[in-house]
Structure formats: C-alpha cells, structure tokens
Chains A and B, each alone.
Chain A
Amino acid sequence: MQIYLQQCAKCHGPTGEGISAAVTIAGPNLWAEDDPGRVMTALEVGPSHMPRFEYILSVAQMHAVSDYVAHTIAQIHLNGGDLSRGGELFRRNCAACHRTAVRGGGLVFVGTNAPSLTGKSAALIAGAIRWGPGPMPRFPPSVLSDHQVASIVDYIRYVQQPASPGGSALNWYGPVAEGFVAWVGVLLMIGIVMWIEKGGKG
C-alpha cells in the first residue's frame, strides 16, 4: 500500500485509475490486473515508459506491491467472454467514437480523437471501459457487467487478430480510401489505353 502510493501512484493514480492517455508518460488503469504474476512481470520488464522496478525495489517489496494491485486495486475479472455478444455491445457502446473497425475516430465536440484500440492489452481495455479516460464515458458495473466487459475485450482483440478476409483492408479507412484506390485503378487503365493506342510499344 505504502510502496504503491510512493512508487506507482504518480503514474497509475492513487486507486489505480490511471492517467489520461493524452499525457505522454501516462500509466494506464490497473483495475483489471487481477493476476499477481502478470503484475510482477510488468515490474521486472518495465513496459514502455514504466521504469524497471528490479533495480528500485527488493523482491519482497515487488511481491507485496503485486499482491496489493492484484487483490485490492483490481476489481474487474475477465473470463469467458462471448464474442458475438461483444461485437453487438461494441457497436452499440463504443463504435460511435472508436469506429466499428476499432481504428479510432474523430470527436468533433471535444477536439480530441478516440484512439485506435489495436494492440492494446485486455487489462488496459477493460480498465478503460470502467474508468473512462479523458472525454470517454465511464461504464460502471451497473451498465456493463464483468462478463459483458470480457465479451467486448474478446471482440476488440478478435477483429484485429486474424487477417481480415478479402485482401488489404486499407487500414479500414472505409469508402474514402476505397475511392482513392478506385481512381488509381482508373488512372492505371487510362495508362493502359494510352499504351494500346501507341501500338503497344514502350
């Protein structure tokens, strides 16, 4: 507890709620980090901007902090999500800002963009749902149950994993990107026509 407040709170917030991703060295929400082993690994590895606590804390202290995070701070338990239920919930609750393809979108009214959700860990997504960083709304347990959160997380991680069928997805920018590609096709064909009219030479 004491170690957490001293070492971790400045980045992850006193109750593990996290700091808005808009800040450069922002620690994400920790409410779904319910596995002491995983927290321990994070302390040893020091992901991205987080320091490696191997050199700062003793092993016993690291274990104490991990247990504290996993048992006191963590409150979301992710298990057995339902993929298609998650898809429906995502489209209804999240797609309006993060786009159906989870690639992020523009929020006119606050002047920030909802970030892309590709490559985010399950715990980070679950934490963000409950905590609501920045302008994002909060979804407390009365709105989305743990099972529903797990379903949404499953869906978000599914959509980015298997290569989407049908070829290059153009980063899922949608019809705008498709339109540009179509025009490349048209210009290519105009080039072909010019080549044909030159008698197919050079």
Chain B
Amino acid sequence: MIASIARWLDSRTRAAKFARSIMNHVFPDHWSFMLGEIALYAFVILVITGTFMALFFDGSSADVVYHGSYAPLVGVHMSSAYQSVLHLSFDVPAGLVIRQMHHWAADIFLGAIAAHLLRIYFTAAYRKPRELNWMIGLTLLLLAIANGFLGYSICDDLLSGAGLRIGYSILLSVPVIGPWLTFLAFGGTIPVSATIPRLFAMHIFLFPALIATLIGAHLALIWRQMHTNYPGKGRNDRVIVGSRLWPSYTLKSIGLFLFVFAVVAALGSFVQIDPVWIYGPFKADAILPGAQPDWYLGWIEGAMRLFPSVNTHFGKWLIPEVFFPGFLFPAVVFILLYAFPFIDKLISLDFRAHNVLRMPWEQPFNTALGCAVLAFLSVLFVAGGDDVIAVAAGAPLAWMRELLRYLAFAAPLLTGVVAYAICETIRRRRSRAIPAQPAEPFERSEVNVEMR
C-alpha cells in the first residue's frame, strides 16, 4: 500500500533519487554539534507557544479596569496589554503554563545559542569557508536578544516598564541620531500609546520572520558546506565521518526535540517565571528595586552599573554616560565578534579552508582570549544582579560593587593567563606523544564522504 503510493508519487515527481541523496547526507556524531539544535528546537517551541498566546494577547495600551479573577488587582486601571496577560495567566485554560513555557524557552533559546557560539569559537569552526555562517549566527544572536527584550516588554508590567525606560534611554543617548531612533522604535516620548503596538508588531512579525529566514540560511549553508569534524583517525579536510540523515540522525534529532520540549514543559509547570501580577501594572510614578533584565541582557545592565558616572562634553554637545556602557560597549563586542574570523587569519597567518576543527589547546592565544572575555562578561553579568545578590547574601551593596569593579579587570587577566598555561601544557604533552602530521593543502569545500 505505502509502496504503491510511493511509486505513484515517484512516477510523477521523480523524487526518489533526490530524496535518497538527502537521506544519505552525513552528519558527524559529537555531542557538541547538537547545541545549535537545542536552540533550533527552543525556537520551534517559541513559535508554537507564541502562536497560542497571540490569540489572547491584545497589543494595545488603551486604559481599562481589571475585572478578572486575580483579587488584588480587581478595579485597578491598567493597559489593555497588561490586562490581556493577566487574563491569559489566570482565566485562559493552560494559559499560564503556555506563557511560562514561552518565557523559559526564550531563556533557553539564548542559553543554547551562547553555548553553541562558545563551541564554534573554541574549536575555530568559523574559519574559511564558514565565515559567512559565523556572521549569520551572530545576527541570529542579536535578533534573539532583541526579540527577547521586546517579548517581556510588551507585557507592560512595572518590571518591564522599568526595562523599557532603560532601553529607551540607551537608544536616546546615541549621539545625533538618538532622538530619531527612539521615535522610530517607540513612537514618541514614553510612556506613549504608540509604543506597545509597535513593539508587539516587531516581536511577533518582523523579528521572528527574520530569525526563521536566517535559521534557514544557516542550515542551508551547513548542508552545502558539510559539517566540520573533530580531528581523529581517518578524518581530514576531505573526508567526513558520521551517520546518515535517515534514519540514525533523524531519530536522534527527534529524540532531542522531545527532550527539549520536556525540559521546557517541566520548567513552565513547576517554576514561576515573570510573575507580572506581583509586579503590578506599569505606572510612570512607581518603581521597584531588584529590577533586572532577563539574563541575556544582564551583561549590559552590569556594564551600566559598574561604569563610572562621567558625562563627556564635545563642545556644546553632551554625550550622556549611558551611551558608553549601554550602546558603545555592546556594539564594540559585536563588531569584534563579526570581524573575528578575519582577525584570526591575522593571528594565525592561516588563509586556507578547513573542515577539521582546531582543538582549544592547539590555539592557546585564542582560547586564552575567549576565556578572558568570558570572565569579563561573567563579572558584568554578576554585577547586573548585584543588588539582589547583596540582599540574598546579606552583604553591603556599595562594597560589593567596588569589589566587582576591581574584578572586572583582575578576573579576565587571571583567567586568560591560566587558560594559556593550561593549553600550552596540554599542547606540549600531546606533541611529544604524536608527532605533528603535515597538513594537506585543501582549497575547495567539496569533500568525500565516509559513512558508518
């Protein structure tokens, strides 16, 4: 029966040969090659849960009075957007668990992207011919951060309102074009009624569409260029060893999707995230301490907290202090990241294409640099939550912030030096054990395939 349908289809579409070549596509097996896949599946969950929520969310800041089932807010004036989030959380069946899954999936999406980025960096997978895909990946990271911020901002609760105001101030602080940028993104001087609809449209149409398109391009390039491989027996820049797309890789991947879904569903069911009813509706005259962004913006928040308060004057112009840690610093970080494949060429003087990865200890300088940057970002990340940590640990905040300022310099230096020393030791030990093999010259990206 199935066979005859397949024959019928094939005689009309001539798809069998094509399908077979797809199914025989080879993916190397290593756990670290599936980190990006976790992100992909988190994105799938985001789209599914987001579609459900879009049925109930009302992206408008019209003033309404709440009459739902959360007692402490009955009779309170709020925006229609915030009210619809409360309605979704308390009165729509399964609404709260879907909302929490969406938020957890977003946090995990970014975590998986970050882990994937680290893997690519520390194994030098960004080298020729994959520079382009590295840049697509970075763009995906940027879009994901932005969309996460938009997502929790449109709830219009007191916490996200505080975040929105910070985002607004950062954009406004950009010299010359700041005011135009803020008018474009926020539709006026916040709080203004145009903001929520604008952010909502960006959150559910513009950014997801861009992310989905770029994920397509990202995967297509991986397909076209074949996957990289770790160095090992029988592997070189021309030979790829791994398992076929069908059946082994597909089954593995479906299994992973189910696991990702299970973890997100468990978090959504058992751990509260973003309890907007506790924060209350956004009111311009109310404020709360212990306000942090979601984790993926914590490093920028931390930079703003640690940066000294200096206002720079250029003639009659003033550059406000937030511009440096809030805009310039992340911009420089991303520009350096985009440029890194080319910076790496200058460091290693290696302009050839590679399909076999470089182990972290084979590139001590890059590894040390990566560890140092990671340490720096971690200090900033901690600083982003320093008030909460101070209260939780009972330590005085002013004192902690001073310590973090010193750590921001000391930690990267220390981590870098230690990482370098460790890499050198491993490298020396290995090169004594196996004499280095001369690398084959390799210029094109076509490779032979060896299947298991």
Chain A contacts to B: CB under 8 angstroms: 83-88, 91-92, 95-97, 99-101, 104-108, 111, 113, 155, 158-159, 164-170, 172-183, 185-186, 188-190, 192-194, 196-197
Contact = CB atoms under 8 A, between A and B. Distances in A.
Contacts of B389: 176
Contact of A106 (B34, B255, B397): B397
Contact of B295 (A86, A172, A183): A183
A179 B295 contact: yes
Contacts of B37: 193
A139 to B, nearest CB: 16
Contacts of A182: 104, 107-108, 111, 267, 295
B292 A176 contact: yes
Given A95-B287, A96-B289, A100-B288, A190 B278 contact: no
B308 interface: no
Please report whether the interface of chain A is mostly helix, strand, loop or mixed according to DSSP: helix
B27 to A, nearest CB: 11
A190 B115 contact: yes
Given A96-B288, A179-B107, A185-B111, A164 B272 contact: yes
Given A84-B75, A173-B388, A179 B278 contact: no
Interface string B251-294: 01001100110011001011111110011100101111111111
Given A111-B396, A164-B272, 13 more contacts: A84-B76, A88-B76, A91-B288, A96-B288, A96-B289, A100-B159, A106-B391, A166-B273, A174-B291, A176-B295, A181-B271, A186-B111, A186-B112
Given A87-B73, A167-B100, A193-B38, A106 B289 contact: yes
B387 interface: yes
B275 to A, nearest CB: 6
Nearest to A116: B391
A149 B389 CA distance: 31
Contacts, number: 192
Interface string B90-112: 10000011001000100110011
Q: Which has the most chain A C-beta neighbours within 10 Å: B90, B100, B272, B390?
A: B272
A117 to B, nearest CB: 13
Contact of B294 (A100, A175, A197): A175
A29 B285 CA distance: 29
A106 B292 CA distance: 13
Nearest to B157: A100
Interface string B17-47: 0000000000001110011011000000000
Contacts of A186: 38, 108, 111-112, 115
